Chain A
Amino acid sequence: METETIERHDTEPVAGPEVVLEVKDLKTQFFTRQGIVPAVDGVSFKLHRGEVLGIVGESGCGKSVTSLSILRLIPPRSGSVVGGTVHYGGRDLLKISDAEMRHIRGNDISMIFQEPMTALNPVMTVGEQIIEPLMLHQDMSRQEARNRAIEMLKLVHIPVPEKRVDSYPHELSGGMRQRAMIAMAVSCNPKVLIADEPTTALDVTIQAQILELMQELREVLGTAVIMITHDLGVIAEMAQRVVVMYAGRKVEEASVEELFETPRHPYTRGLLRAIPKLDLDAPDDHRARLETIPGTVPALYDLPPGCAFAPRCQEATEICHGRQPELETKHNHHIAACWNAPPVDVA
């Protein structure tokens, strides 16, 4: 296992780390009773080696659909990827054969889901679920794979791994199950790990354990991580770069520091203001009203003609209601899709 230490805060990967995965103008549609729904509409981002890229947004913004599209896991009857490219290892994952894609999944790119109980197979032991992909992808013998599985369980700090390897998912606690799923996801030493709300179903003290484990693994294995979450706290602690999504589109992308300090899109600003903060320095009898974003997220089958956020935006002007803003390209390190976005401080 190669060891690589990556500074958590080298946020500006200008000519530095290589790009492992590049998503360009991804478009995914779902077929619903209300018609064709643009769940992901022209999303682009780059993932660099060893980096954690956060994708944040509220329910229905398309963050999970983006990850499922990358892995080609959109159920064919309900929707499909209709445009864009996903470049990985010199190939467009959207163009390769199903057999080639199967080899990529779990081996080069793997995924951790929110609910380990539904993602794990309940009638297979934890060990068996790690052994299977190892035999399939890495051509290991059963004994080798079993040893590797025990090693992986140890790596994710599951106590008595030689015994736990034969446990069924229901015999483990929620936190342990999530550890087992992570062990499974990283067992083939993937280049890219997609974590879709990996700690949302867990209690805070267990969440802290899992986040610490993910940091540790990233440092040890050098895996690049796409961290999908609605929790801005998790983003602030884990990610180096952040993509903010709203109604199927990327509305802002920046380094984590810039995003929290000088958010350029009104939606990002609204989100940051709406979270109650554990603010211990606030005045004593402070039970202030929270700032809110008025209204609700629009239905994807009924998007407004201009900027999807315009109906809820305090700063919307005439053009916002008429034309969709393009993502600007001049400030590469901090981009926003807003007609009225303030300029980037060129410091």
Chain B
Amino acid sequence: MNKVDASVPAGQTDKATPVLAVKALRKHFPLQSGLLSRSQQVVHAVNDVSFHVDHGETLGLVGESGCGKSTVGRTILKLINPTAGSIQIDGTEIADLSRREMRPYRRRMQIIFQDPYSSLNPRMTAGDMVGEPLTVHGIASGQEKEDRIAALFQKVGLRSDQIRRFPHEFSGGQRQRIGIARALALDPKLIIADEPVSALDVSIQAQVINLLMDLQEEFGLSYLFIAHDLSVVEHISHRVAVMYLGHIVELAERRALFRTPQHPYTEALLSAVPVADPKRKRADRIILKGDVPSPVSLPSGCPFHTRCPVAVAACKSEVPALREVRPNHWAACHLR
């Protein structure tokens, strides 16, 4: 497939500069309150989140529902505007750019959604959807566009005779392939994959994970891979960040995070995953008590202290900073 000419201002391809760098990102959503109500309540969806994604790297972002992982993804794409913080794409700050100024950067980052049923337009053919970004960004038209669509279909494992078909004629796995082809159309550097395999059956999930890994290799893509399934994240990621109540509580190279988790929440999360091996029943499973607190009124101190099995007094009063507790292994816990 031809590479799209990167006629983007400030198009550095310096390998040392990360594809994406997020610093102290914050997103607070005001809650709809009464007309005359003065005290505005706020959902603290993302709180001072910082990380980067290198060229050709997959950063896994895991956490349970409501932890803010999807909001991070959408804020980076500026589908929603950040409340505070910095977002750099190839070293260029985009947090404050207007919609028009954002356009050239949109080509460099694309998103794949969870639900292949609702993320496709039921009235457009698969080919039209994959080709649409090429038209919108004025990259290709006519025969050239048709050729590129055919090439993209082939890349994601769809047949060329499926180009004229409508979404309802595809299975879930095939629809996810259409979504991937559309994301690839602009030859992006970074793909934000938001639970891309969660809605798929096991046998299909494996096909899509393999496809994503092959495409990464071929095009040098970087992924921000957002998911709740730890085994999928472990499989696909180079590094992994764990989120809880809008905070990153741990960030490390994949192996280190799964073998020697440093945060008690990560430990509990890993221990909670049912293992598909009847011989490995774990008697020492850590079962967390209670539910995740509301992001409207965050607990004082460490966000995890209300459920933490090892919390001490300091955890209730001071927010622990994300510190490098081992080389390249970051954790936000007073006890490490």
Interface residues, chain A, with chain B CB atoms under 8 Å away: 58-59, 173-176, 203-209, 211-212, 230-237, 256-257, 260-261, 270-272, 274-280, 284, 287, 289-294, 296-297
Contacts and interface: CB of A to CB of B under 8 A. Distances in A.
Nearest to A60: B201
Closest 4 CB pairs of A and B: A233-B274, A203-B64, A276-B235, A208-B272
B322 interface: no
B204 interface: yes
23 contacts: A176-B291, A204-B64, A204-B269, A204-B273, A206-B291, A230-B202, A233-B275, A236-B276, A236-B277, A236-B278, A237-B274, A257-B279, A261-B279, A274-B202, A274-B203, A275-B231, A290-B209, A290-B210, A291-B206, A292-B206, A296-B171, A296-B173, A297-B201
B291 A173 contact: yes
A204 B272 contact: yes
Contacts of B210: 289-290, 292
A209 B277 contact: no
Interface string B271-308: 11111111101000101100110000000000000000
B43 interface: no
Contacts of B231: 275-278
A275 B287 contact: no
Contacts, number: 127
Contacts of B236: 276, 287
Nearest to A59: B201
A206, A236, A278, A293: residue with the most chain B Cβ atoms closer than 10 Å: A278
Given A204-B269, A271-B202, A290-B209, 14 more contacts: A204-B230, A211-B274, A212-B285, A231-B274, A232-B276, A260-B276, A260-B278, A260-B279, A278-B275, A279-B234, A284-B255, A287-B213, A289-B213, A293-B203
A333 to B, nearest CB: 15
Contacts of B275: 233, 236-237, 277-278
A233, A274, A284: residue with the most chain B Cβ atoms closer than 10 Å: A274
B258 interface: yes
A134 B276 CA distance: 38
A276 B285 contact: no
Contacts of B268: 205
Interface string B250-274: 0000010011000000001111111
B210, B214, B272, B285: residue with the most chain A Cβ atoms closer than 10 Å: B272
Given A274-B206, A296-B204, A208 B276 contact: no
B50 interface: no
Nearest to B203: A293
A277 B174 CA distance: 24
Contacts of A279: 234
B261 to A, nearest CB: 11
Contacts of B273: 204, 233, 278
Contacts of B13: none
Given A212-B287, A284-B255, A278 B203 contact: no
Contacts of B92: none
B17 interface: no
A284 B276 CA distance: 21
B203, B207, B210, B273: residue with the most chain A Cβ atoms closer than 10 Å: B203
B236, B281, B285, B287: residue with the most chain A Cβ atoms closer than 10 Å: B287
Contacts of B64: 203-206
Nearest to A256: B278
A260 B278 CA distance: 7
A270 B279 CA distance: 20
B284 to A, nearest CB: 12
